[in-house]
C-alpha cells in the first residue's frame, strides 16, 4: 500500500476491515496522519520527504523501516508531542525505530537477546522524566553519585516498556547533541524509585552508544566528560533568487560563544563564510538565520560549527544546497547591429572553455550559436 498524495493524508487503521498492512510506503509531498493504532507486518518505507504523524496513536512495526532520514520521521505532530512506536520482535535482528521531530530523526535501535516473541514499546518524549526543577535540584538533573557520567541529555528521552521478560541491547545516537568522545558515552536509565539516572555498562562508538537493558523505563544519553552544550533541532538550507538561506534551530545552549558556518564545493576543502553570536547559557529554543549572498554554482555544502567560551569547538553533519548561478549583468551593443555584435557578460562563478552563447530574437528564433572561453569578472 502506498500513500502518495500531495496534500495531508489519513492512514486508515483498517479497524475491523482486512487487517494490518503488509507493506506501507510513504510518498507524495505532505504529512501522513495515523487515525488509529496501526500495524505494519512487512516493510514501512519512505519514498519522499514526508513525516508520519502518530497523533496520540501507536504504530507497530516488525522490522526496521527503510528510507527514513531527518525529513522522513515518525513524529507526534509537534516538537512537544510524544511519539509511540511498538516493535513486535520474534528474532535477534536489530530494529531501528525512526522517531523524532520534524527535521531531526532521533532513532533508537533495539536488538532482542533471544528469538522469543516480545513487544517493546518506545515512547519518544521531549523533556526529562520526573519532577526535577531548579528549586528542588539547583545543580541540574540528579545522577547516581557512583556513576561516571556527569551530564545527561534532558531535552528528550525514550520511555521503553516490554510485554515479557526478554532483555535487549539498546543503541542510542547523539542526534541534536554535541557528541562526546567514545569513552565518555553512556546509556542512562531512569530510576523512578530514587528519581535519578543510573548508568548502564555502555560501549561508545562513532555516532552512538550501546548497552544491554535488563529492566525498562526511560533511557537517555549521558556524557562523562564535557557537557552536551547544544541540542540542535534542525539545520536546513534552500536556494532562492541565487541566494542560499540557512536556518538552524537549537533547543538550548550551554557556554556557547558563537556559531560558524563553513562552505565547501567538494566536502573536503572548507572555508568559513559566516559567524553568528551565541546566546551563552539558555534553555530557550532559538532559531538563527543566515544568508549566503554569493553561493557557488551547483551544489554548496554547509557545515555548522559551535564554539564554547573556552575555545572548544564541535561540528555537525553538513547539508547540501543546490543553487544554479545566473548572469548578474550583460550588455549588448551596438543596437541595432549590422554584422558585428558585442556582448559583455559579467560573471561571478562561471569560467571555462566549453561555453555556448546563443542569440535568440523575441520570437524564439536562434540567430547564432558560438563556443567561447569565459573567465571570471567580465568577458567580451
CB contact at 8 A, 237 and 302: yes
Give how far Cα 371 sits from Cα of 42, 43, 346, 349, 358, Å: 55, 52, 17, 18, 9
156, three cell numbers: 528528550
248 near 288, Cβ under 8 Å?
yes
Q: For residue 135, what pLDDT is reported?
A: 43
pTM of the model: 0.60
Scored b (16 or more CB within 10 A) or e, 230-245 reads bbbbbbebebeebebe
- Does position 221 have pLDDT exceeding 80, yes or no? yes
Instruction: Name the more confident of 135 and 92.
Output: 92
Range in 10-24, 297-311, 360-374 the model is least confident about: 360-374
Burial of 50 (0-12, 13-18, 19+ CB in 10 A): buried
Is the model's pLDDT at 365 over the cut of 50? no
Of residues 89 and 268, more confidently modeled: 89
- Reading the block at residue 190, the C-alpha cell is 531512569
pLDDT class of 137 with cuts at 50, 70, 90 = very low
Tell me phi and psi for residue 174, to 5 degrees.
Answer: -110, 45
Q: Residue ranges of the domains in the chain?
A: 2-223, 230-323, 329-379
Domain 230-323: give its CATH architecture.
Sandwich (2.60)
C-alpha span between 148 and 342 (Å, rounded)? 74
* Residue-level pLDDT at 321: 94
For the stretch 67-122, pLDDT in tens is: 999 999 999 987 778 999 999 999 999 999 999 998 899 999 999 999 999 999 99
* CB burial of residue 189 (10 Å; 0-12, 13-18, 19+): buried
Report the relative pairing of strands 32-34 and 9-11 from DSSP bridges.
parallel
CA 147 – CA 94 distance, rounded (Å): 28
Average pLDDT, the chain: 84
Between residues 143 and 198, which one has the greater pLDDT? 198
Q: Which of 153-157, 237-241, 303-307, 356-360 has the lowest mean pLDDT?
A: 356-360
For 164, the 3-state DSSP assignment is coil
pLDDT over 90 percentage in the chain: 55
CB-based contacts of 67, cutoff 8 Å, min separation 6: 45, 46, 47
List, for residues 36-52, the tens digit of each pLDDT value: 999 999 999 999 999 99
Residue with more model confidence, 296 or 151: 296
Contacts of 122 (CB under 8 A, 6+ apart): 84, 85, 86, 87, 97, 99, 108, 110, 158, 159, 160
Amino acid at each position: 500500500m502506498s500513500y502518495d498524495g500531495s496534500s495531508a493524508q489519513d492512514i486508515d487503521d483498517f479497524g475491523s476491515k482486512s487487517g494490518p498492512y503488509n507493506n506501507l510506503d510513504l510518498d507524495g509531498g505532505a504529512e501522513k496522519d495515523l487515525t488509529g493504532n496501526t500495524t505494519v507486518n512487512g516493510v514501512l518505507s519512505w519514498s519522499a520527504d514526508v513525516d508520519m504523524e502518530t497523533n496520540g496513536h501507536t504504530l507497530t512495526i516488525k522490522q526496521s523501516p527503510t528510507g527514513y532520514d531527518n525529513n522522513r520521521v515518525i513524529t507526534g505532530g509537534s516538537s512537544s508531542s510524544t511519539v509511540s512506536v511498538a516493535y513486535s520482535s520474534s528474532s535477534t535482528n536489530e530494529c531501528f525505530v525512526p522517531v523524532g521531530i520534524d527535521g531531526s530523526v532521533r532513532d533508537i535501535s533495539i536488538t532482542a537477546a533471544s528469538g522469543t516473541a516480545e513487544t517493546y514499546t518506545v515512547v519518544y518524549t521531549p523533556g526529562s522524566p520526573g519532577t526535577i526543577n531548579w528549586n528542588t535540584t539547583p545543580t541540574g538533573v540528579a545522577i547516581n553519585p557512583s556513576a561516571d557520567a556527569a551530564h545527561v541529555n534532558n531535552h528528550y528521552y525514550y520511555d521503553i516498556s516490554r510485554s515479557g521478560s526478554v532483555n535487549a541491547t539498546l543503541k542510542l545516537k547523539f542526534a541534536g547533541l554535541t557528541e562526546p568522545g567514545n569513552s565518555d558515552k553512556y546509556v542512562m536509565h531512569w530510576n523512578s524509585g530514587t528519581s535519578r539516572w543510573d548508568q548502564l555498562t555502555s560501549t561508545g562508538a562513532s555516532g552512538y552508544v550501546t548497552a544491554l537493558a535488563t529492566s525498562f523505563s526511560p533511557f537517555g544519553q549521558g556524557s562523562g566528560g564535557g557537557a552536551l552544550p547544544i541540542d540542535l533541532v534542525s539545520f536546513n538550507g534552500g536556494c532562492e533568487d541565487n541566494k542560499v538561506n540557512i536556518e538552524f534551530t537549537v533547543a538550548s545552549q550551554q557556554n556557547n560563544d558563537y556559531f560558524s558556518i563553513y562552505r565547501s564545493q567538494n566536502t573536503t576543502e572548507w572555508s568559513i563564510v559566516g559567524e553568528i553570536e551565541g546566546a551563552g547559557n539558555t534553555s530557550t529554543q532559538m532559531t538563527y538565520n543566515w544568508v549566503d549572498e554569493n553561493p557557488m554554482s551547483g551544489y554548496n555544502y554547509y557545515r555548522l560549527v559551535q564554539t564554547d567560551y573556552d575555545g572548544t569547538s564541535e561540528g555537525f553533519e553538513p547539508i547540501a544546497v543546490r543553487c544554479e548561478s545566473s548572469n548578474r549583468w550583460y550588455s549588448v551593443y551596438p543596437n541595432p547591429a549590422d554584422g558585428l555584435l558585442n556582448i559583455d557578460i559579467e560573471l561571478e562563478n562561471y569560467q571555462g572553455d566549453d561555453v555556448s552563447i546563443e542569440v535568440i530574437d523575441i520570437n524564439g528564433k536562434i540567430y547564432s550559436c558560438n563556443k567561447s572561453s569565459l573567465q571570471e569578472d567580465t568577458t567580451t
